[in-house]
Amino acid sequence: MKLFYFPGACSLGIHVLLEEIGASYEAVLLDLRSGAHKAPEYVALNPKSKVPALVRDNGRVLTEWPAIAFYLANLHPQAGLLPTDVDAAADAVSAVEYIVSTMHMQAFARMYRPERFAVSEADFDSVRAQGKEMFLAGLEMMGQILQGREFLAGDRFSIADAALLFVTFWAARGELPLPASVAAHFARMKQRASVQTVFAREGLAL
Ligand SMILES: N[C@@H](CCC(=O)N[C@@H](CS)C(=O)NCC(=O)O)C(=O)O
């Protein structure tokens, strides 16, 4: 398998899942800053021009964080990345969906890409502020789920924790306040070998 990623982007969570399953894969840095995701060779591979993209062993390209996480968890069930209990599995999918579609694509995108939500530049600051409010509300919600628990779903690390990791990383990098239970989750994540390996490879400070 081959993962296209950019250091510290949402692909971080998929990178960690690949380490967790222990399968062999190649991690390819796609430099979003220089526009490598818009280069014709990459667009031919992934017309969405985004990371993460996973090239499967059969050559087919898979995009969208939840789909890639679902694929990896089911391809390597021994890694236990999706709870076997149906209630806990549904909780994991629910958390992933919220983190990706609301916290990332709605809240965080408003903070850093306001032009995608407002036509007039005069509105950008209010869009950013709205995004920050939504993002902080999302962290609070994740914090509530984590009350008295180590993981977002079930009793072990799952795809939901890998999703929370990348938004928490963004929050910490942006010096946003983390609810205590989210900060504790982040600290636990950073103790995992998979996370340490990926942070080192992506050149991120732990
Ligand atoms: N819905 C996609 C979103 C992927 C996404 O937005 N990736 C960002 C990095 S975190 C990206 O590639 N941005 C480049 C751009 O939008 O130009 C997913 O969940 O995988």
pLDDT digits (tens, 9 = 90+) for 183-192: 999 999 999 9
Q: Which two tokens stand for residue 57?
A: 């062993």
Mean pLDDT of 74-97: 97
Q: Which two tokens stand for residue 188?
A: 């636990």
What's the whole-model pTM score?
0.97
The residue whose C-alpha atom lies closest to atom 2 belonging to ligand 1 is 64
Residue partners of 195: CB distance under 8 A and separation at least 6 = 16, 19, 165, 189, 206
The atom of ligand 1 lying closest to the CA of 64 is: 20
Judge whether 68 and 54 are in contact, CB under 8 Å: yes
- Give me the pLDDT at residue 189, please: 98
- Give me the pLDDT at residue 133, please: 98
Helical residues (DSSP H) of the chain, grouped into ranges: 11-21, 40-45, 65-75, 86-97, 109-112, 124-145, 159-173, 180-189, 193-202
Taking the C-alpha atoms of residue 83 and residue 90, their distance in angstroms, rounded to an integer, is 9
* Boundaries of every domain in the chain: 2-80, 86-192
Distance 32 CA to ligand 1 centre (A): 10
Taking the C-alpha atoms of residue 69 and residue 78, their distance in angstroms, rounded to an integer, is 14
Domain 2-80: homologous superfamily in CATH: Glutaredoxin (3.40.30.10)
Q: Which CATH class is domain 86-192?
A: mainly alpha
CB of 10 closer than 6 A to ligand 1?
Answer: yes
Confidence of residue 64 (pLDDT cuts 50, 70, 90): very high
